[in-house]
Amino acid sequence: MTRPSVITLDGPAAAGKTSIAHQLANVLGYVYFDTGLMYRAVTLAALDRRLDIGDEDVISRLAESVVIDIRPSAADPDAMALEVDGEDVEDRLHSGQVDRNVSAVSAYRRVREALTRQQRRIAARGQIVVVGRDIGTVVLPDADLKVYLDASVEARARRRWQEATRKGRAENYDEILAAMRRRDSIDSGRDVAPLRPAEDAVIIDTTEMTMDDVLNTVLRLVEGTQVS
């Protein structure tokens, strides 16, 4: 009997997935894999090539042609960095342009199908914590342990605003809240892989929890989920 080798963390933006998955992977000595960055990578590649984000066929063909992989980050060996066709794009995935266009790109069926294949290839290496919005439901439905982190949209917007403030970025809370509501609507309402917990996922509401509380809760789940 061993620990679960493939652990998925799904949930809406700013529910704590990235922070918890990163810490969980460090504690367990696993690989940390944020699949959302792959959609950002395709979006960035499309913007670099000056492609029309609204042209589903063009963007889908791009997603089907690029090779995306992960490796330890040069800035933080415990973190992951993304490569697109061998090029390091780590520092360019969170630009305002990418933020504004990634939801549209991630809603395209063929884009999701293409990236799902790549995500499964990476996850097959095992001993990995995989973060996203449809990992437990679509990408890795047979994962050993599935966790879904949730929180109120107000709490999530506040966290995002506080993060921006800590980093010295002057952002407006109301605008962040409105953008997050729009993102939630897109993610949960899309026809392809809508945001929802897997039937066998453990749902954790993080609204009133500290990140330490959430991490300890997930660690207890890991230790309690033994696989043969």
pLDDT digits (tens, 9 = 90+) for 141-154: 999 999 999 999 99
pLDDT over 70 at 226, yes or no: no
Q: Which residue has the higher pLDDT, 169 or 49?
A: 49
Tell me which H or E stretch contains 63: helix 56-65
pLDDT of 171: 86
**Mean pLDDT on 20-39:** 93
Share of the chain above pLDDT 70, in %: 97
CATH architecture type of domain 6-207 = 3-Layer(aba) Sandwich (3.40)
The token pair at 30 is 């696993």
Q: How far is CA 201 from CA 121, 135, 166, 204, 228, in A?
A: 22, 11, 32, 9, 19
Segment among 3-7, 36-40, 45-49, 169-173 with least mean pLDDT: 169-173
Say which range, 13-22, 74-83, 156-165, has the weakest mean pLDDT.
74-83
